[in-house]
Amino acid sequence: MSITTLKQALEQGIAPWADDQILDDSDPSVTIYFDKFPVTRGHFLFVPKTNTPQDIANCLAFAYEVGNHNTRDFNVGMNVGAFAGQTVMYPHIHLIFRYEGDVEDPRGGVRNVIPSKGNYLKSKESDNVDK
C-alpha cells in the first residue's frame, strides 16, 4: 500500500514529525515543521499534506518564499530515494538558512552532496595550475 497523505505517513510511523515540531499548519497543502536535527538556525521542513506533484511543488514554492522573506542566503532541497540520502520516505523539502562562516567554503552549495564535486571552480583552478 502506498502512502498518499501526510496523515497516513504519521499514523504508520513513516513520517517521524511530532506536533511539537509544527511551525505552521494553516496552509491547505503544506505543513511546516522545525527540523529535529537542524544543520543551522533556521532549518525547516515543508511537508506536503498529500503526496502529489502539485503539493510537492507548493512546498518548494512556499519554502522559497519563506527563505526569501527571512534571510538573504539559504538552500532549498529535497532528497528523493535512498541513494540520494532520503531517510524519511515521505516527501519533504528542506529550507536551510545559511550564515557567513557556517562552512569553510560554501562554493558549490547543494553540489556538495558529492563532496569531491561540490566546488567545481577549485578543480578548474587546479587544472590551470597543472598546465
Q: What is the pLDDT of residues 75-93, one digit of tens each?
A: 999 999 999 989 999 999 9
CA dihedral 106, 60, 62, 91 (to 10 degrees): -110
Separation between Cα atoms, residue 48 and residue 32, nearest integer Å: 9
CA distances from residue 37 to 21, 43, 122 in whole angstroms, order as listed: 11, 9, 30
pLDDT at 124: 58
Contacts of 106 (CB under 8 A, 6+ apart): 98
21 with 45, same domain?
yes
pTM (2 decimals)?
0.86
55 with 92, same domain?
yes
Q: How many folded domains does the chain comprise?
A: 2
117 with 87, same domain?
no
Q: What range does the domain containing 125 cover?
A: 106-131
Separation between Cα atoms, residue 105 and residue 126, nearest integer Å: 16
94 with 110, same domain?
no
Question: pLDDT digit string (tens) for 47-64?
Answer: 999 999 999 999 999 999
89 with 45, same domain?
yes
61 with 26, same domain?
yes
